[in-house]
């Protein structure tokens, strides 16, 4: 009997001969099967949807609500710096050089740069 699947747990809970052989495991399996799964995520999704679908925005299309919920729960996508243009790469390198130079100005214990 495979207890790693819900079918195996169900057999342990429902078959009288299994319940008689393994009474403690049978009770434990029934409690595991009755546990609510994913309740916080569902509540968070409904809360997000309620904040998006206010009375001012009651005419949003379902596709737009879906997009807004994804943005709200997952955040906007993060661009990959490797896909940037040469100008964006140069601007990033300039920013990094400025950050390193500012860091070098700070006092550091035990190191001379």
Query: How far, CA to CA in Å, does 93 sit from each of 79, 86, 97, 101, 113?
Result: 16, 10, 6, 12, 21
> For 4-22, what is the mean pLDDT?
87
Across 28-94, the runs of DSSP E, i.e. the strands, are none
Reported as a single tens digit per residue, the pLDDT across 64-97 is: 888 888 888 777 666 676 778 888 888 888 999 9
Is 65 within the bounds of a domain? yes
The answer to whether residue 86 is domain-embedded is: no
What is the total count of domains within the chain?
A: 2
Q: Which residues form the domain of 67?
A: 39-74
pTM for the complete prediction? 0.34
Are 43 and 31 in a shared domain? no
Check if the beta carbon of residue 48 is closer than 8 Å to that of residue 69.
yes
Task: Show the tokens assigned to 40.
Answer: 């916080």
Mean pLDDT, all residues of the chain: 82
| Structure-token pair, residue 92 | 């990033």
């Amino acid at each position: 009997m495979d207890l790693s699947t819900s079918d195996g747990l169900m057999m342990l809970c429902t078959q009288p001969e299994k319940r008689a052989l393994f009474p403690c495991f049978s009770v434990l399996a029934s409690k595991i099967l009755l546990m609510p799964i994913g309740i916080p995520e569902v509540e968070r999704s409904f809360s997000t949807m309620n904040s998006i679908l206010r009375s001012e925005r009651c005419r949003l299309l379902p596709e737009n609500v879906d997009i807004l919920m994804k943005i709200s729960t997952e955040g906007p996508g993060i661009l990959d710096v490797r896909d940037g243009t040469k100008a964006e790469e140069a601007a990033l390198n300039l920013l990094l050089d400025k950050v390193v130079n500012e860091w070098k100005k700070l006092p550091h214990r035990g190191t001379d740069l």
